[in-house]
Structure 1
Amino acid sequence: MAIPFYFVALLILAAEFVNGWTDAPNAIATVVATKALKPRAAVVLAVTGNMLGAFYGRAVAQTIGTEIVRPEAINLVTLGAALLGIVVWATAASWFGVPTSESHALLAGLAGAGLATAGPAALLLSGWKKVFLGLVISVLFGAVGGFGLVWMLKLLSMGWPPAKKDRIFNLLQIVAAGGMAFSHGSNDGQKFIGLFTLTLVLAGVLPVFQVQPWV
């Protein structure tokens, strides 16, 4: 395998590291701040949830690897440039305290790589529909669901003694943190799995895009 392959693989690992460094702690920030869990236990919860989530299905990896840009429209050089941009941008944003998303950077990087190599024809509408649909649904569901859940919990806990509230809500926070860590792994983790599989295809290691268990 040529040097570009190893360089791109290293950049994928770097991008995944930055993603875990900046995004993964979001799942456990609340349980640590409220002392529902000690920091070390919270980190174990985040690691476990993310690892399990990454093995949950392959749909996101498939979308990233085959439905955002045409694989034949990009190469290892342009993909490496896109990944380098992700790593530099995410690191700089974190350093200056600017909220950012590696998922958005990843999609923008793939789109830029495709546009630079083959123009607008490189972009696949089917995958971008999923991206925009996911953005709309997540915002609406998060806002409406969050409001409704808080309202319901207020009604249910009305009249509970403080000790009971602390015990139950601490437990619910831990469950929610575990769920967030799992969903982060099943989404963000799979994105980079899909990207690495795409790299294997571009390098000629795999004949077709098919996520391997060892990836």
Structure 2
Amino acid sequence: MSFELCATIAVILFAMGFNYTNGFHDAANAIATSVSTRALTPRVALAMAAVGNLIGTFLGGKVAATVGKGIVRLPEGSASLGVVIAGLIGAIAWNLTTWYFGIPSSSSHALFGGLVGATLLSGPGVVLWGGILKSVIIPMVLSPIIGLILGYFVMLGVLWAFRRGHPGTLNRGFRGAQSVSAFAMSIGHGMQDASKTVGIVLLGLTIGGYESMTRHQWWVDVLTALVLAVGTYSGGWRIIRTLGRKVIHLDPPQGFAAEATASAVLYTATAYGLPISTTHTITSAIMGVGATKRLSAVRWGVAGNILVAWVLTFPAAGAVGAIVYLLIRPLF
């Protein structure tokens, strides 16, 4: 077995490791609101999210192409495979750190940051800053703003449409509706986050000379989908508690409005091949929905801590990716 083949297999294994951490780290994106409103039991919600992620994996081809071709350009060879491995380790390290502290940061931006940090030190590798600005930075800034504003107005629409309804009846009805919105949210998570892992696997296969970025085998989608589903079902309870309880106490209509808003943003971004953060999207939607009650209903101190993590994710994962690359470069 050649060294390049071993390195390519290592890329796939580390990509699946990142994919697994992405699953339990971002499980909260799809189910935190449904669990906190008691629309779904935790295990039922996790199982549903796992199935939704599995389905969504096969629908995010444009996002996979953006990640595989639009972030960095690396020449074929084992040295470039070392860059991808270092970037994945940087992303995994940041995911585990933020999971430990219960902070809902973006696995997507951890992945991009780790890959960019390692590529900057690689020599022949090129960071496509134009692609990062268009596909990462601008969507990173706009998606939370859109989620916040849209969530606010969607919730206002719900309040107006059901203003004469009985609270008990409405809560029961919206708990049922949340089963649909949470499932839609989990599909959107698969369309976005699983597709990013697919893009990284295809990048590794292309660098190793075993695949073309213009096509890929079905097994890449299936493997990614299954690992993400297993990671999701494992559950990231620390982050679920943060999103479901610490930012704002949600009732079923608010939970439905937040999930419907986030799903709409995710589906739209996927249609245009924009790899946005599901974490940023659902968190900002929750804040927007909560602000319709009163501004003080949102625990802005917790929200501020989340914002700090958002800002730090890209450079922190990038720094770890760069350090890991320096350590493993002699091996490649």
Q: Would you say same fold, with TM above 0.5? A: yes
Give the aligned residue type for 1:31.
S
Aligned pairs, number: 215
Give the aligned residue type for 1:78.
V
Cα offset for 1:96? 2.8
* Alignment of 1:146 onto 2:154: no
Structure 1 equivalent of residue 105 of structure 2: 100
* Alignment of 1:69 onto 2:72: yes
Cα offset for 1:49? 1.0
CA contact (8 A) 1:65 1:198 kept: yes
* Alignment of 1:182 onto 2:207: no
Structure 2: unaligned runs, 5 residues or longer:
221-332
Q: Distance in 1 between matches of 2:217 and 2:142?
A: 30
CA contact (8 A) 2:90 2:111 kept: no
Q: Compared with structure 1, are the counterparts of its residues 99 and 25 closer, same or farther at alpha carbon in structure 2 (3 Å cutoff)?
A: closer
Structure 1 equivalent of residue 12 of structure 2: 9
Give the aligned residue type for 1:133.
I
CA offsets per residue over residues 30-89 of structure 1, 9 Å max, x none?
Answer: 111211112222122101111111101410000000011113287111111111111122
Cα offset for 1:185? 0.4
CA contact (8 A) 1:31 1:174 kept: yes
CA contact (8 A) 1:27 1:178 kept: yes
Q: Distance in 1 between matches of 2:212 and 2:170?
A: 56
CA contact (8 A) 1:114 1:123 kept: no
Moved more, 159-168 or 111-120: 111-120
Q: TM-score, normalised by structure 1?
A: 0.91
Alignment of 1:156-195 (within 5 A): 156-195=161-200
Structure 1: unaligned runs, 5 residues or longer:
none
Q: Distance in 1 between matches of 2:31 and 2:20?
A: 17
Q: Distance in 1 between matches of 2:194 and 2:131?
A: 21
2:53 maps to which of 50, 54, 72: 50
Moved more, 33-42 or 72-81: 72-81
Cα offset for 1:207? 4.3
Q: Distance in 2 between matches of 1:178 and 1:135?
A: 24
1:22 maps to which of 8, 20, 25: 25
Q: Distance in 1 between matches of 2:146 and 2:127?
A: 31
CA contact (8 A) 1:9 1:199 kept: yes
Cα offset for 1:195? 0.3
Q: Compared with structure 1, are the counterparts of its residues 77 and 121 closer, same or farther at alpha carbon in structure 2 (3 Å cutoff)?
A: closer
Cα offset for 1:171? 2.2
Q: Distance in 1 between matches of 2:34 and 2:68?
A: 34
SS at match of 2:72: coil
Moved more, 111-120 or 63-72: 111-120
CA contact (8 A) 2:65 2:213 kept: no
CA-atom RMSD in angstroms? 2.0
Percent identity over the alignment is: 34
Alignment of 1:34-45 (within 5 A): 34-45=37-48
Q: Distance in 2 between matches of 1:92 and 1:83?
A: 14
Give the aligned residue type for 2:194.
G
SS at match of 1:28: helix
Moved more, 71-80 or 13-22: 71-80
SS at match of 1:214: helix
Give the aligned residue type for 1:33.
S
Cα offset for 1:172? 2.5
